Amino acid sequence: MSIYCVTYDLKSPGKDYTPVHNYLKKYTHCKKLESFWLIDTNKKASAIRDELEKLVDSNDIIFVAEIKKHWAGLRFDCAAWLKETGRSW
């Protein structure tokens, strides 16, 4: 398993977050920032991007990146989630 950050900007006129949120909720996840999720999955970043692309409008922006063990946060509520036993690095 790998940890990925997924972030997005959904533009007008659509801005329908429901399909994106429902997709991301399928994974073990942490979401404590507006448009930033951490998900735990075996999938590759490109597969996550491609699946999300089917759920958003053509002018929306998606970014997916793998998180490695060297990270830092300040008052970031997902820090404990990232440190849980069993998280893959």
pLDDT digits (tens, 9 = 90+) for 11-70: 988 788 999 999 999 999 999 999 999 999 999 999 999 999 999 999 999 999 999 888
Residue 40 is predicted with a pLDDT of 95
The pTM score is 0.89
Q: Give per-residue pLDDT as tens, 69-79.
A: 888 999 999 99
What pLDDT band is residue 89 in, cutting at 50, 70 and 90?
low
For the domain made up of 2-71, give the CATH fold.
Alpha-Beta Plaits (3.30.70)
Q: Give which of 55, 67, 65 is closest to 10, Cα–Cα.
A: 55
Distance between CA 71 and CA 76 in Å, rounded? 11
Q: Report whether pLDDT(82) > 80.
A: yes
Structural domain boundaries of the chain? 2-71
